[in-house]
Structure 1
Amino acid sequence: MLMLEREKLARLIKKRSLKVADEPVFKLSSGKLSRYYVDLKQITFDPEGDYLIGKAMYELVKEFNPDACGGLTLGADPIAYAIAFVSLMDSNPIKPFVVRKEPKGHGMKRQIEGLLNPGERVAVLEDVVTTGSSALKAVKACREYGLEVIGVFAVVDREEGGRENIEKEGIPLYSLFKLSELL
């Protein structure tokens, strides 16, 4: 990814997604209160923002040659679709997939949706990593499906223990940005 595009993405995140307060007022999914909140849906639900994230994340994952990429719904979904589109434009298609928080209660009762086969190499995606629990839930579902998880790839690492928790499971974490770079 060109440095100019990375800088443009960083500016978009700072402008639209990053919220900063004097006191810890933002409740995170972990239940912890924080002075910082990163709402990347403000970027991924925007055509330009999703394209920039798709391009940047594709550049991050492509060297690992995944067959597919995806993660826990909803944060990872637009990222996976953007990577799929950008990868196809580069003649190197990477399939998207979605991991539900729980297996579907009807039909095929799947927890993972996508055109996947056991044994395929997958990149687990996250918009923002804090503790790593969402990523690890997706990793667990992928492994149970028989997929080989090659890493967790995030747009933002909040630097609050997620990397360590993910790496304890023998999985590397790669991120486009650390929160400290965006403050």
Structure 2
Amino acid sequence: MDYKGKLKELITERALKVSDKPIFKLSSGKLSTYYMDLRTITLDPEGGFIIGNIIYEMIKDKNPDGVGGLTLGADPISYATSIVSYINKNPIKPFVVRKEPKGHGTGKQIEGNMKEGDRVFIVEDVVTTGGSSLKAAKVAKDFGMEILGIITIIDREEGGRENIEKEGFDFISVFKISDFLKNINT
């Protein structure tokens, strides 16, 4: 199966929202004429299966111990990737980075079976400025993990790549927003 082609089709059909006026508020606070609602894909059985396969193929040769990122965007991507890795007899553990440390119990900010020294990829559904990915990477690094790179499904091409690379992390995107907008007047 052409997983990448199928994912592009699903994103075009279900996730891309376009307006002639900037009505979509982004996590950066900026208003935009387009929005990628990737949770319509990542929280779908078919979409999760496809994304899990794509991300697994991208990272398997680096032999990571884990894959995760800032909750909520990264969670379904991490879980899907870990399940595909298990099916392929090469388990990669998922982990979740809380936005703030847990207010009770052990006060953890990273959930999952991770330990200091683990080699991990940070994943994200959409990167605009890179803020969420960098926050997750900082928490994981402070925990003692080695960051192998940051992967996103969609790079909005609004400075995220540059911000992430400026901090010394490799950045990989499955798609760029221009892959979807070149045929649409925005």
| Pair 1:182-2:180 in alignment | yes
Shift of 1:124: 0.4
Among candidates 5, 29, 37, match of residue 3 of structure 2? 5
Show CA shifts across 1:135-167 (max 9, x none).
000001001100001110111111100000000
Residue of structure 2 in register with 1:91 after alignment: 89
SS in structure 2 at match of 1:131: coil
CA distance in structure 1 between the partners assigned to 2:99 and 2:75 by the alignment:
13
- Percent identity of paired positions between Structure 1 and Structure 2: 60
Alignment-mate amino acid for residue 168 of structure 1: K
1:165-180 matched pairs, under 5 angstroms = 165-180=163-178
CA distance in structure 2 between the partners assigned to 1:79 and 1:153 by the alignment:
10
Show CA shifts across 1:109-147 (max 9, x none).
000001111011000010000000000000010011000
Residue of structure 2 in register with 1:156 after alignment: 154
| Pair 1:14-2:25 in alignment | no
Residue of structure 2 in register with 1:23 after alignment: 21
CA distance in structure 2 between the partners assigned to 1:181 and 1:159 by the alignment:
11
Among candidates 42, 45, 48, match of residue 47 of structure 1? 45
Residue of structure 2 in register with 1:104 after alignment: 102
Alignment-mate amino acid for residue 133 of structure 2: A
Q: TM-score, normalised by structure 1?
A: 0.97
Q: TM-score, normalised by structure 2?
A: 0.95
Check the 8 A contact 1:121/1:148 in 2, yes or no: yes
SS in structure 1 at match of 2:124: strand
| Structure 2 residues not aligned, in runs of 5+ | 182-186
Check the 8 A contact 1:104/1:110 in 2, yes or no: yes
| Structure 1 residues not aligned, in runs of 5+ | none
Shift of 1:21: 1.1
CA RMSD of aligned residues (A): 0.8
Residue of structure 1 in register with 2:184 after alignment: none
**Runs of 4+ off more than 4 Å:** none
SS in structure 2 at match of 1:150: strand
Shift of 1:182: 1.8
